[in-house]
Amino acid sequence: MRMFINYFSLDFLGDIMEFKLNKINIFLIVLLISVINFGFVFAVIPSGGSLTSISNSTAPADVAQGVAAIAGNVTEINIVGFSTTQSWQGYFGNVSGTLQLADGSDNVMYNWSLASPEGEIYASVNSSINWVGTQCYNNTTFTSNLELEYNILSDDVDGIDETFNMQDHDAFYVNNILINTNTCMSTRIYGDTGAGVNEEFEEVLLKGGSNETIFASILEEDMLGFNDASHDFQMLVLEDGHGTDTATRPYYFYVELQ
């Protein structure tokens, strides 16, 4: 009888221990799921940065040249002229920043200063962007609507399709969303060679989750730009300057550093 009680006690205690271990395992699984979900909620998203406007200029008009006119003569002449685009604004400059580890109140636990960081600069007329669902801006219907918005005619040589006329760019991430190599409408801003060069000053056309137009410039590290000076980025953005439209519009800049 005593032996039976001991065996019963041992079996009972074993059941209790197994129950507790199962509870611990369930707790660990729940904790692991919580940690995973927590990581997805706080994905890295592009954020605003401090901007300093250095200069603002446009190309000067060429001086008119005269050709002698003599009554009774017919003269053949060839003329080469340059006019400033009425559809695009250019931005260029340098980026410095910090990678940091901080809480929701911006209390910094640690940071790493970056003199010439890698990453991307984003520009948009939207002061807030739905970064979830960001993708390539490849739909021709959207492009046509965008040209209408900026009074660009379908046969304008400086239209959107004529400017972002290739799919040739490096891969990068936006809000932890992979933009694969050579998948988006892209262009190359001219460097010191006077032409676009592969893997230099690449710009990609994106749209946010709520159809916001986003211009994405992939950062370079002290690359010689169009004016033979060193820049981290160069980019084009749309602006309507056709006809009598002389109004300005603000662009908002976001940065995602690596």
Strands (DSSP E) contained in 69-176 are 88-93, 97-102, 108-114, 119-124, 135-136, 172-174
List pLDDT tens digits, range 95-129.
Answer: 888 888 989 898 999 988 876 788 999 999 999 99
Residues 6+ apart with CB under 8 A from 63: none
User: What pLDDT, on the 0 to 100 scale, is given for residue 43?
Assistant: 62
Please say if the pLDDT value at position 39 is more than 70.
Answer: no
- pTM of the full structure: 0.78
List pLDDT tens digits, range 145-184.
Answer: 999 999 999 899 999 999 999 999 999 999 899 999 999 9
List pLDDT tens digits, range 123-155.
Answer: 999 999 999 999 999 878 888 899 999 999 989
Q: Which residue reads 């940091």 in tokens?
A: 100
